[in-house]
């Protein structure tokens, strides 16, 4: 019988996986240009003659990348969601339907503005929001849907658009993990009414911190721009504050890093996709593992995470935490993944504060996935060499065999 590393055996892998972030001369050159320009902030200030704002250039290029007409940079992806709700006209007390299998910011960003998240369960085989669970949750207070492209896989935007249009709801795409992803050839963030992205340090396009909104609706763009620029209006006077807003601006330094990182994005996406296919082939042979279904309409998967599940019968006889610990000991950075937001105390406390009632949301698919089945590898694992992918598969095989 094989001896696991956690019990003193030899780990499958001792070599490191690909380092993150990746940087080089491009980043240094862009940062030097900003430093010498004299224009460091996101608004105002002098610059050397001939200097083009990195923020303005980054916003244009990012909009082009996702196929959107407009983009607005913000301090982070969480604020991007809050601003998107404000720009679309939601008000405190309105409701937005969100999935429970996502980072807490999807819900907390709404609550920060007094918008109440209502949780619609996810699909069993994708862990993306289930369009069929949305309509029963719609009330007169419902004003929007947030579709989360979890792990970099676009949600079913065709069905979600149908539901949103039928009920007159704003459709927001939380694309924090999905830079470069596409649904039926169209970039995420340009399919619904507004898209939001994160540029936080773990993301595939990384500025340390930062975020960006995209939209094809000029009114939403102007609203978002104004909200992020202390209520000013595009091309207005410096002290012409026509809306209530805050200072949510990024810096020129962050935009410079994004521009440099964008030169690496396509090559990195191709490598992640190739290694994800290879890992799919390896894991498909294991009856104890279930790969997530990739909808044929997903024309580009960003693979911010490589997400998979333990098969139900296997998950019922092993402890998920124990399984992950054993794989970790084999040198593989496997993560347990999210907890269900519909059961998160801080979220439920905030909902109660805003509404005066303790709400209960039933999301059994998400809850089981979080407790027993779902787990992931981060994107830098997929940037490693092919041997790293074979090592991941071998470590999973080894740990699975130990339960026999």
Helix-helix angle 25-37:252-283, to 10 degrees? 160
Residues acting as catalytic residues: 203
pLDDT value, residue 290: 98
Percent of the chain past pLDDT 70, that is, above it, reads 99
Please identify which residue in the block is written with the tokens 């990182």: 261
**Structure confidence by residue, pLDDT tens digits, 13-39:** 999 999 999 999 999 999 999 999 999
Q: What confidence tens digit (pLDDT) does each residue in 194-243 have? A: 999 999 999 999 999 999 999 999 999 999 999 999 999 998 998 999 99
Instruction: Taking residues 53-78, report their average pLDDT.
Output: 98
Name the pLDDT band for 48 (thresholds 50, 70, 90).
confident
Task: State pLDDT tens for residues 89-119.
Answer: 999 999 999 999 999 999 999 999 999 999 9
What per-residue confidence (pLDDT) applies to 255? Answer: 98
Burial 347-356 (b: 16+ CB within 10 A, else e): bbebbeebee
| pLDDT tens digits for range 120-154 | 999 999 999 999 999 999 999 999 999 999 999 99
| pLDDT tens-digit series, residues 288-345 | 999 999 999 999 999 999 999 999 999 999 999 999 999 999 999 999 999 999 999 9
pLDDT higher than 90, residue 384 = yes
pLDDT for 281:
98
Rounded to the nearest integer, the mean pLDDT of the chain is 97
The whole-number pLDDT of residue 10 equals 98
Residue-level pLDDT at 72: 98
High-pLDDT (> 90) share of the chain, %: 96
pLDDT band at 190 (very low <50, low <70, confident <90, very high): very high
Biggest CA pair distance of the chain: 75
Give 264-299 pLDDT, tens digit per residue: 999 999 999 999 999 999 999 999 999 999 999 999
User: Torsion angle of alpha carbons 280, 322, 202, 95, nearest 10°?
Assistant: 90
Strands 170-174 and 186-187: unpaired
Q: Angle at the Cα of 53 (from 48 to 57), degrees rounded to 5? A: 145
How many C-beta neighbours within 10 Å does residue 394 have? 15
For the chain, the three-class secondary structure string (H helix, E strand, C coil) is: CCCCHHHCCCCCCCCCCCCCCCCCHHHHHHHHHHHHHCCCCCCCCCCCCCCCCHHHHHHHHHHHHHCCCEEEEECCHHHHHHHHHHHCCCCCCCEEEECCCCCCHHHHHHHCCCCEEEECCECCCCCCECHHHCHHHCCCCEEEEEEECHHHCCCCHHHHHHHHHHHCCEEEEECCCCCCCEECCEECCCCCCEEEEECCCCCCCCCCCCEEEEECCHHHHHHHHHHHECCECCCCCCCCECCCCCECCCCHHHHHHHHHHHHHHHHHHHHHHHHHHHHHHHHCCCCCEEECCCCCCEEECCCCEEEEEECHHHHCCCCHHHHHHHHHHCCCCCECCCCCHHHCHHHHHHHHHHHCCCCCCCCHHHHHHHHHHEEEEEHHHHHCCHHHHHHHHHHHHHHHHHCC
């Amino acid at each position: 019988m094989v001896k696991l590393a956690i019990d003193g055996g030899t780990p499958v892998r001792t070599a490191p996986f690909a380092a993150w972030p990746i940087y080089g001369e491009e980043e240094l050159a862009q940062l030097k240009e900003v430093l010498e320009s004299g224009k460091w902030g996101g608004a105002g200030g002098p610059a050397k003659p001939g200097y083009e704002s990195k923020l303005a250039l980054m916003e244009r290029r990012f909009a082009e990348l996702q196929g959107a007409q407009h983009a607005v940079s913000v301090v982070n992806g969480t604020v991007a969601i809050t601003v998107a709700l404000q720009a679309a006209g939601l008000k405190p007390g309105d409701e937005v339907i969100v999935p429970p299998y996502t980072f807490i910011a999807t819900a907390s960003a709404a609550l920060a503005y007094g918008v109440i998240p209502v949780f619609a369960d996810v699909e069993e085989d994708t862990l993306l929001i289930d369009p069929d669970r949305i309509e029963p949750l719609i009330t007169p207070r419902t004003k929007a849907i947030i579709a989360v492209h979890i792990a970099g896989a676009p949600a079913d935007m065709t069905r979600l658009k149908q539901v949103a249009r039928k009920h007159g709801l704003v459709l927001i795409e939380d694309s924090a993990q999905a830079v470069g992803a596409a649904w039926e050839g169209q970039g995420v963030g340009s399919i619904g009414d507004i898209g939001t992205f994160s540029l936080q340090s773990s993301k595939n396009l990384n500025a340390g911190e930062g975020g960006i909104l995209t939209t094809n609706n000029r009114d939403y763009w102007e609203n978002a721009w104004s909200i992020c620029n202390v209520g000013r209006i595009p091309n207005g006077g410096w002290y012409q504050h026509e809306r209530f807003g805050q200072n949510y601006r990024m810096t020129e330094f962050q935009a410079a890093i994004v521009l440099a990182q964008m030169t690496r994005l396509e090559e990195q996406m191709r490598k992640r996709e190739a290694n994800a296919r290879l890992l799919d082939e390896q894991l498909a042979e294991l009856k104890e593992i279930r790969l997530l279904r990739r909808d044929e309409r997903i024309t580009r998967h960003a693979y911010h995470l490589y997400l998979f599940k333990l098969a139900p019968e296997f998950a019922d006889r092993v402890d998920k935490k124990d399984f992950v610990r054993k794989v970790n000991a084999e040198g593989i950075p496997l993560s347990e993944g999210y907890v269900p937001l519909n059961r998160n105390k801080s979220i439920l406390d905030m909902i109660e504060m805003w509404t005066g009632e303790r709400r209960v949301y039933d999301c059994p698919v998400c809850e089981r996935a979080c407790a027993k089945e779902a787990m992931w590898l981060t994107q830098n694992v997929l940037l490693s060499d092919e041997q790293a992918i074979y090592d991941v598969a071998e470590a999973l095989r080894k740990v699975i065999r130990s339960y026999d």
